[in-house]
Amino acid sequence: MSNHWDIYFSTIEEHFASIVLDMGIWKEVDQRQFSFPMALRFKIKNPNKSGIPIDREAEIINDLEDRIINEINGTGYHVGRVTTNGIRDLFFYFSQDYDLSSLAGPIFLEHGYDIETFSINEEEPWGFYFNFLYPNEYEIQHMGNRKVLESLRTSGDSLEESRRVDHWIEFRSDMDKLGFIKKVESLDFKIEQEHQSTDAITLRIYRADRVDPQSINDLTDLLVDLVNEFNARYEGWETQVIK
């Protein structure tokens, strides 16, 4: 396993979903060798309103999962998990067909959990990992947003006040840059500065906005859409701490 585990949140069949994923595992294993994806599914006994385990049950489940992961070490890789609507799925890639049920069943039954295991059909190696588990560009940005917000909270910011938020966008051509500027100025963004290197143009823009999680995610979704329209790349945002 890599050291690049992260979490993001999404919606699956209209239910809140928490996805924990090894974001770097695909770079470290031979995808054609470990080409047998499998899932282990069980029902959470006392999920909270979001459908995820809490308190003591969360600790028990984590311990059970760790035991499974330790047992399969070398035979396969645990790549992620999805928790939604009171159900948790653990996902693995093995080097060959594996009797996951015989391993996990007795371990989970110690605490009264019935499990289901099943193989996952793929048209190409690791297609399930990239097409279902891996976050899309909006979700990847939301993950970055969460880390900035955590830093602001750690500094004593309640995230309640609107404030100036600066954004960086990278372009490959002046034509795309000028089209983007015209668009964002119509949305009340201001142009702060521009830096040009040999292979890219970096633009800094800003606007007064709220930075609570929903507001900042909506804002970056808007900018991701705009940079795609103008063949650019969104490089992130920053703001001042307000206590």
The pLDDT tens digits for 79-109 are: 999 999 999 999 999 999 999 999 999 999 9
Q: What is the DSSP string of the chain?
A: --S-EEEEEEEETTEEEEEEEETTHHHHS-TTTS-EEEEEEEE-SS--TTS---HHHHHHHHHHHHHHHHHTBTTEEEEEEEEETTEEEEEEEESS---HHHHHHHHHHTTT--EEEEE---SSTTHHIIIIIS--HHHHHHHHHHHHHHHHHHTT--S-S-EEEEEEEEES-HHHHHHHHHHHHTTT-EEEEEEE-SS-EEEEEEEEE--SHHHHHHHHHHHHHHHHHTT-EEEEEEE----
What is the structure's pLDDT at 73? 82
Q: Is pLDDT at 1 greater than 70 in this prediction?
A: no
Q: Give the mean pLDDT of 61-68.
A: 96
What is the structure's pLDDT at 197? 78
Q: Which CATH architecture has domain 5-133?
A: 2-Layer Sandwich (3.30)
What is the structure's pLDDT at 196? 81
Q: Give the mean pLDDT of 66-81.
A: 93
Quick check: do 5-133 and 137-239 share a fold?
A: yes
pTM above 0.85, yes or no: yes
Query: Domain residue spans in the chain?
Result: 5-133, 137-239
Percent of the chain residues past pLDDT 70, beyond the cut: 99
CATH top-level class of 137-239: alpha beta
Q: What is the pLDDT of residues 203-239, one digit of tens each?
A: 999 999 999 999 999 999 999 999 999 999 999 999 9
**Average pLDDT along the chain:** 95
Q: Give the mean pLDDT of 172-199.
A: 91
